[in-house]
Amino acid sequence: MSRKKTSTTADAPAGGSTTHHNMFKHLGNKALATVAPHTVPWMLGAGALPVGAVTHTIWGGPEALPWASAGLALSGAALSAVTWAVSRYRHPLGRLQSTGTTVVASGWLLAATITGPTARPTIDIGMWLGGTLAAGWNVRNIIRPFEAAVEGETTLTGPSLFKKLLTGTAEAAGMDVGVSNVKAAPHKIAGSVDLSEGDTVEDLQKAIPAMEAAARLPLGSLVVTPNQQNAGAPTVTMSNPMLLEESIPWFGPSRPGGSVAKPLRVGLFQDGEMTEVVIVGSHVQIMGMTGAAKTTAGAWGIWGELITRKDTALIVLDITKGEQSVGPVRPAAHRVVTTKTGAKQFFSELQGILRDRLDYLADKNLMAWEEGCGLSYLVVWLEEAADLFDVIDMTQFVSLTRMLRSAGGTLVWSLQRGDSTQVPTFVKGQAGGFACFGVANSHDASWGLSDAQDDAGAAPERWRATKPGMAYLEMPGVPVDKIAMPMRFCDWGSSNEARMRNFRKHCEQWPAAARPVDPITARICPNPGALTNQEVPAAQTAPEEDDDVKNVAAEYLAPDPEMDDGVTPDLDEPLEEAEPVEFSTPTKATPEQARAVLDQMLAEFGDGREFAPRDLGQVLTRTGMRRGWIQKQLKARVDAGTLEHDADAGVYRVRVLTNA
């Protein structure tokens, strides 16, 4: 006891001295840490003096001064413009303060180079303006934490501010939420949102526009992703839409020489992560309005990756734009089709090899195509698909969609509006992937988005055609939390001429001939990268003949064993007299005649059966009218009350009138 007491007493002065020393040291370090940031503007201002002295010594002479003055003036102006541009997302006062500091600093350096930094009044002006600017930055640094605490900072500076942002804006939108498990990355920050009792993920998704407005965020900054394990704890991700404000240059092939089974890198998400998709095992719909870059960004971006994969057979059909869209890819595609006749022939040939492909996979005990199975993976791409659907056998095509995926192939159809009048409902139901570019309005968007994307707040109508290459993707390879996050496809150049030149050069570097296909697939693409008789560009051929009158000589002059007993007729023998027959010349019907044919056809559906515009193909055949005329006539009858229209299902019904 005495030892402990003596030791304590003896050590008391020393311990107290150490405690006071540590306390003063801690306070000193804290004061230094607090004051240090405020000294930076003053130190930078003082550092301008030796810089001015150096530039005056080197360039202050009469021979160099005119050139130095011009150079410093131009560089100062450029630096000020860059400062103004890169600070455009800051508070307006912060933007002015940053740019103003750059202007004053570059202007004073120019004056110091001419007169010397210590000359009067150069040094006086420098001390006055420099001191004012440094004090201004000190005030801003002192006030900023209080602004963040009171108003809520919208920049991604940390988990605490993100929590305040979400809880504060949700409260403004009429919801009470908690935020946990916040994780920050360079271009995004995300956290789990705990919903109050009675609230759902759908409620939070509907509140997002109000929350973005309350936080003064750009549209599309917040994305809600449902939690499959906990419906009351969705994830909210905040990223910067302005990251995609400028076009994204083509990255180059991601896995040259690899398999198509590996992801394709096609663009960038607005959170800064690469956009990668897997095309194997699913059909894909691509939709967007004219000018949204479905072809030059979407198609070319995916084709640019596909042609670098060793086991891909790319076949492209475009009977509308022809060489404008598919010309550059010809060297790298295994087959390109630009005519109606060629399209019909191709689908017949494709139907003919699918059974053999299925049998081949069955012999390998495979239920689906796999890397290294020995078959080339087929990618059949339909540009302007709605026009193509008008001319091909849709019964055959529907059957083809059922078989192609199992036989190791993907069908991609690209069009401007994916409603049921353009794409058969069954075909669209086979789609496992959706890519929606800018569209005219929210109604059109509903045809290009999946239900999950629509529920999560995807809004491609915001872009229309003003942001070419911007899209929403729901495809294999895209994380579920990004199906409603905007992305931008890579751009092949700064102008249409550059895009076509660069893409054509890329395709020439990856020719189809260097990617030989298996013997079964070779039957439908025997000359990779070359033209076939049915695929010659329209400018090099005469107008196509109607299928009903082509090869007339071959059909009627060849011997028929049943009719002619196998004897070839003597063409020089005089013909027997026959009764005159009247032939009708196929001409386009007048509007009145066409309407009468349509009314006759509609009468067949008078028993209340539903029908779609594609069920009226006989009207087009008999009248020579086009699909657009049918649609106008149906709309007129809906307006007149004689037809009922279910816009969601894309079907019509003849209205049955009853007595009052």
Residue 260 to residue 381: CA distance in whole angstroms: 15
pLDDT of residue 101: 80
Q: How many CB atoms lie within 10 A of CB 569?
A: 9
**Above 70 in pLDDT, residue 560?**
no
Confidence check: pLDDT of 575 > 90 = no
User: Above 60 in pLDDT, residue 559?
Assistant: no
Residue 11 pLDDT > 50, yes or no?
A: no
Q: What was the pLDDT predicted at 552? A: 34
Q: Would you give the end-to-end CA distance of the chain in angstroms?
A: 113
Tokens standing for residue 617? 């193909």
- For the stretch 250-257, contacts whose Cβ atoms lie closer than 8 Å and that sit 24 or more positions apart, written own/partner, are 250/301, 250/304, 250/490, 250/491, 250/492, 250/502, 250/506, 251/490, 253/304, 253/305, 253/308, 254/305, 255/308, 255/309, 256/308, 257/308, 257/309, 257/310
Contact 186, 167 (CB under 8 A): no
65 Rama sector, left if φ>0, alpha if ψ -120 to 50, beta otherwise:
alpha
pLDDT reported for residue 631: 81
Is 50 exceeded by the pLDDT of residue 120?
yes
Dist CA 491 CA 588 (whole Å): 44
* Lowest model confidence (mean pLDDT) among 27-31, 169-173, 598-602, 624-628: 27-31
Using CA atoms, how far apart are residues 349 and 327, in angstroms rounded to an integer? 23
Strand runs labelled E in 109-206 = 177-185, 188-195
Gap between the Cα atoms of 356 and 28, Å rounded: 83
Q: Which residue would you say has higher pLDDT here, 107 or 30?
A: 107
Provide the pairing of β-strand 264-269 with 274-277.
antiparallel
Separation CA 161–CA 189 (nearest Å): 11
Q: Could you tell me which of 422, 420, 415, 416 has the C-alpha nearest to residue 649?
A: 420
pLDDT value, residue 607: 67
pLDDT band with cut points at 50, 70 and 90 for residue 296: very high
What's the mean per-residue pLDDT of the chain?
80
Residue 211 has pLDDT above 50, yes or no: yes
CA pair distance 94, 97, nearest whole angstrom = 5
446 or 72: whose pLDDT is higher? 446
34, pLDDT greater than 70? no
Instruction: Please tell me what DSSP assigns to residue 594.
Output: H
Highest mean pLDDT pick, 160-174, 362-376, 454-468, 640-654: 362-376
Which has more pLDDT, 61 or 212? 212
Reference 527, options 334, 346, 389, 353; nearest CA is: 334
How far apart are the C-alpha atoms of 430 and 402, rounded to whole Å? 8
Give pLDDT, residue 256.
95
Average pLDDT, integer, range 181-190: 87
Three-point CA angle 78, 79, 81, nearest 5° = 65
pLDDT of residue 467: 92
Do strands 377-382 and 487-491 pair parallel, antiparallel, or not at all (unpaired)? unpaired
What is the 3 state secondary structure string of 496-551?
Answer: HHHHHHHHHHHHHHCCHHHCCCCHHHHCCCCCCCCCCHHHCCHHHCCCCCCCCCCC
Burial, 3: exposed, middle or buried (Cβ in 10 Å; 0-12, 13-18, 19+)? exposed
- Residue range 577-595: mean pLDDT, rounded: 60
Give yes or no for a cis peptide into 526 (omega within 30° of 0).
Answer: no
Beta strand 177-185 with 643-646 is unpaired
167 exposed, middle or buried (CB, 10 Å; 0-12, 13-18, 19+)?
Answer: middle
At 259, which amino acid appears? Answer: S
Query: Which CATH fold topology does 159-243 show?
Result: Threonyl-tRNA Synthetase; Chain A, domain 2 (3.30.980)
Q: What's this model's pTM, rounded to 2 decimal places?
A: 0.58
**Tens digit of pLDDT for each residue in 223-245?**
998 988 999 999 999 988 888 98
Single out the residue of 225, 235, 220 nearest to residue 483, CA to CA: 225
Q: Are the C-beta atoms of 385 and 413 separated by less than 8 Å? A: yes
**C-alpha triplet 358, 364, 368: angle, nearest 5°:** 50
DSSP three-state, residue 120: coil
Mean pLDDT of 381-405: 89
> What pLDDT is recorded for position 538?
43
Reading the block at residue 141, the tokens are 């640094």
Average pLDDT over residues 125-132: 76
Copy the structure tokens of residue 580: 């005159």
**What pLDDT does 630 receive?**
83
**What are the tokens at 471?**
């899209």
The separation between CA 403 and the C-alpha centre of its own chain, rounded to angstroms, equals 28
Domain boundaries, the chain: 21-150, 159-243, 278-416+433-497+513-540, 591-654
Write the single-letter amino acid at 271: D
Which range, 370-374, 453-457, 642-646, is most confident?
370-374
What CATH homologous superfamily does 278-416+433-497+513-540 map to?
P-loop containing nucleotide triphosphate hydrolases (3.40.50.300)
Where b means 16+ CB within 10 Å and e means fewer, 104-132 reads bbbbbbbbbbbbbbeeeebbeebeebbee
Q: What is the mean pLDDT of residues 167-191?
A: 89
Pair of tokens at residue 1: 């006891």
Write the pLDDT tens digit of every residue in 476-499.
999 998 999 999 999 999 898 999
- Given the DSSP bridges, would you call strands 235-239 and 177-185 parallel, antiparallel or unpaired? unpaired
Backbone angles phi, psi at 296, to 5 degrees: -70, -25
